[in-house]
Amino acid sequence: PENLQKTWLREFCQTVQAHRPHFVALHCQEVGGKNYEASMTHVDSFIKELLSSDAMKDFNRARVYLDKNYKSQEQFT
């Protein structure tokens, strides 16, 4: 995931900087991979890198909603 994440974040940031939107909504699914138990640490890293990127510096707020309760299979999204 580290290699893919860096490439994806670079492309995303370039797109945001090129279009300079007033609002960005991003839905991510399977950021850490299909094995969510083993990959949940990648999600935290992804969010931190995304929010600290130059592309996001012009935004004055962010909201992140994460479902990290993967122990409850019936409710995990």
Q: Between vectors from CA 40 to CA 35 and to CA 36, what angle results, nearest 5°?
A: 20
3-state secondary structure of 10: helix
* pTM of the model as a whole: 0.74
pLDDT digits (tens, 9 = 90+) for 19-72: 999 999 988 776 655 666 777 777 888 889 999 999 999 899 999 887 766 666
What is the C-alpha to C-alpha distance for residues 17 and 24, in angstroms, rounded to an integer? 12
